[in-house]
Structures are given as C-alpha cells and as structure tokens.
Structure 1
Amino acid sequence: MNDFKSLKPISVYSTKQAVDDGFLILVDQKVSQEAGIRHPVYLTRAVWDKYVEVPKGMEGHQDQDGRLWDALFMFAFFARRESSSQLLFKLLVQLPDAGDWEQNEKVAERSNRLLREVILKAVVTARDFDDPSPAIFIMKPFED
C-alpha cells in the first residue's frame, strides 16, 4: 500500500514566486475592494500586458487604472451570478487592429474594429500551496 503522506513534491512553484518572477500581477487590494471583491486578485502577465496596459497610440484616450477597473468590475459583475469556483466572463476592450487577434476575442461592433469582446477566465482557489485562504486568478481561457 502506498503511503501518500510520506511523498514529497518534486517541485513547487509558489504564487509568491510567480509574482516575484513577473508571471502574476497582484492587484492592489484597495482597488479590488472598491470593485466589490473581497479576496486578493492576481492577473496573469498575458492578461495584464494585453488588456490592462494601454496600447501604443491609445494613451490619450485611456489609462491603465481605467482598464484595470473595467476588468475587475466585469469579473465582480459576473461572479455575483455564479456559484462555481471557475467562471468565464466578458470584457470590452479597445485595442489597435494590428492583426494580433486571439481565440478569446471577437469584434464587439461591426462598425468599430478597435472594440473587442474578450472572454477571460477566473478561478477561485487557494492563494498558495501553503496558504489555503481564497484568492482569485484571472487569466485567458486557455491558460492554467
């Protein structure tokens, strides 16, 4: 019989390490609480770079804080209707039409190719392997 309690993990990559390495971005808790979110929120680098950072050429029309707020607000809006620990939610984002469309994006309005409807995934799980308190991880649908 296997004694699983005596098994040691081969490798552990913690949430803290992922933040330190830049693969996860921890959202300022004041900002997430203003959006009605009680638990810590992490965004993957891919989500941050594409949907929160203001793209070149759009600096005068948008700002990073507003784009972050939109993502958090839309998560909170959809999460209120969901009881699962995982959900897909929609977000409207302005992005240049530079041929970098991804499978989770589509044109939101036929008359405006700069406005994309984006699907993101949120997972509520333990904050870290040694911290069972809940945290929210927002990512692209095909990320883990």
Structure 2
Amino acid sequence: MNDFKSLKPISVYSTKQAVDDGYLIQVDQKISQEAGIRYPVYLTRAVWDKYVEVPEGMEGHQDQSGRLWDVLFMFAFFGRKETSSHLLFKLRVHLPNTDNWEHNEKVAERSNRLLREVTLKALVTAQDFDDPSPAIFIMKPFED
C-alpha cells in the first residue's frame, strides 16, 4: 500500500508567488468587503488588464475603481445564489469596438457595439497550498 502522506510535491507555484510575479492581482479587502465579499479576492492579470483597466480612449468616461466594482458586485450578486465552489457569471463592460473580441464576450445591445456582455469564472478554493482559508479567484472561463 502506498503512503500518500509521505509524497512531496515536485514543484509548487504559490498564490503569493503569482501575486509577486504579477499573474494575480489581489483586490484590496476593504473594496471587496464593500461589495459584500468576505474572503480575499484575486483576479488574473488577463481579467485585470481587459476588464478593470480603463481602455485607451475611454479615460474620461470611466475609471478603474468603477470597473473593478462592476466585476466584484456582479460576482457577489451571482455568488449569493450559488452553492458550488465554481461559478460562471456575467457582467457588462464598455470596451472599444476593435477586433479584440474573445470567446467569453458578445454584443450586449445591437445599438451599442461598445457594450459587451462578458462571462467570467470564479473559483472558491484554498488561498494557497499552505493556507487552507478560502479565497476567490476570478478569471476568464478558459483560464485555470
């Protein structure tokens, strides 16, 4: 019989390392708590860059904190109805009408091609390999 307790991982990439490397962005807990989220929240760099950062040319109409709030609020809204640790949720995001559409995006309104309905994925899991406390990781649906 194998004793799995004695097995050691070959390699571990921690949440802390991913934050330090810039692959994950940790949301300020004060902001996430205002949205009704009680666990730490991390966004992947891809989500942050595309849906939180204000796109070039839209600086006067939107701000980063408002876009972050939209992501957090919509997660919290859909998350309240979910019992699973895995959630797909939708939000509407203003983006320039360019050729950078992704599989998780579609036109939200025919009359406004700047408004996209975006699907994101959230996982509630251990914060890190050595920290079993819960944390929320928000990413694009095809990210792991």
Flag as ranges the 4+ runs of structure 1 deviating above 3 A: none
Residues in 2 aligned to 1:98 and 1:71: alpha-carbon distance in whole angstroms:
21
The aligned counterpart of 1:90 is 90
Q: Deviations over 1:69-99 (max 9, x none)?
A: 0000000000011010010000100000110
Residues in 2 aligned to 1:99 and 1:123: alpha-carbon distance in whole angstroms:
29
The aligned counterpart of 2:101 is 101
Residues in 2 aligned to 1:39 and 1:93: alpha-carbon distance in whole angstroms:
24
User: TM-score if structure 1 supplies the norm length?
Assistant: 0.99
Q: Give the fraction of aligned pairs with identical amino acids, expressed as a percent.
A: 85
| Structure 1 portions without partners, runs of 5+ | none
Secondary structure at 2:91 match in 1: strand
Matching of residue 123 in structure 1 with residue 123 in structure 2 = yes
- Aligned-pair CA distance for 1:121: 0.3
Q: Letter of the aligned partner of 1:72 in structure 2?
A: L
User: TM-score if structure 2 supplies the norm length?
Assistant: 0.99
Question: What is the count of residue pairs matched by the alignment?
Answer: 144
The aligned counterpart of 1:142 is 142
Q: Letter of the aligned partner of 1:4 in structure 2?
A: F
- Aligned-pair CA distance for 1:2: 1.6
Q: Letter of the aligned partner of 2:85 in structure 1?
A: S
The aligned counterpart of 1:53 is 53
Q: Letter of the aligned partner of 2:122 in structure 1?
A: A
Q: Letter of the aligned partner of 1:76 in structure 2?
A: A
RMSD between superposed Cα atoms in Å = 0.4
| Structure 2 portions without partners, runs of 5+ | none
The aligned counterpart of 2:68 is 68
- Aligned-pair CA distance for 1:102: 0.2
The aligned counterpart of 2:12 is 12
Q: Letter of the aligned partner of 2:115 in structure 1?
A: L
Residues in 2 aligned to 1:142 and 1:44: alpha-carbon distance in whole angstroms:
12
Residues in 1 aligned to 2:139 and 2:72: alpha-carbon distance in whole angstroms:
12
Residues in 2 aligned to 1:8 and 1:74: alpha-carbon distance in whole angstroms:
39
